[in-house]
Amino acid sequence: MRDLCSTRRPKFGTYVIEFDTPGMGHLCKAAGCDFVIVDMEHSGFTYDQLKRMLAHYRAAEVPVIVNTPVHDYDMIARACDMGADAIQPSKVGSAEEARAIIQHMRYPPEGHRGIALGIAHDRYRPGPVAEKLRTANREVVFFPKIETPDGVEDVDAIAALPDVAGIWIGHFDLSVGMGIPAQFDHPDYRAAMKRVTSACAREGISLGRIADNPAIGQALNRAGFDFLCFSGDSWLLHDGLQQGINALRVACRPKKHKATRVGTQKGLGTGSSRR
Domain boundaries, the chain: 2-251
Q: How far is 224 from 244, CA to CA, in rounded Å? A: 34
Phi and psi at residue 39, to the nearest 5°? -85, 125
Give me the architecture of the 2-251 domain, per CATH.
Alpha-Beta Barrel (3.20)
Q: Helices marked H in the chain — which ranges? A: 2-5, 24-31, 47-59, 73-82, 95-105, 129-139, 149-153, 155-160, 171-177, 187-203, 214-223, 233-251
What distances in angstroms separate CA 259 from CA 254, 256, 262, 263, one per listed residue?
A: 15, 9, 9, 13
Per-residue pLDDT of the chain (275 residues; tens, 9 = 90+): 999 999 999 999 999 999 999 999 999 999 999 999 999 999 999 999 999 999 999 999 999 999 999 999 999 999 999 999 999 999 999 999 999 999 999 999 999 999 999 999 999 999 999 999 999 999 999 999 999 999 999 999 999 999 999 999 999 999 999 999 999 999 999 999 999 999 999 999 999 999 999 999 999 999 999 999 999 999 999 999 999 999 999 999 988 766 555 554 444 343 433 33
Residue type, position 204, single letter: G
Phi and psi at residue 64, to the nearest 5°? -120, 130
Q: How far is 139 from 131, CA to CA, in rounded Å? A: 12
Q: How far is 175 from 39, CA to CA, in rounded Å? A: 20
DSSP 71: -
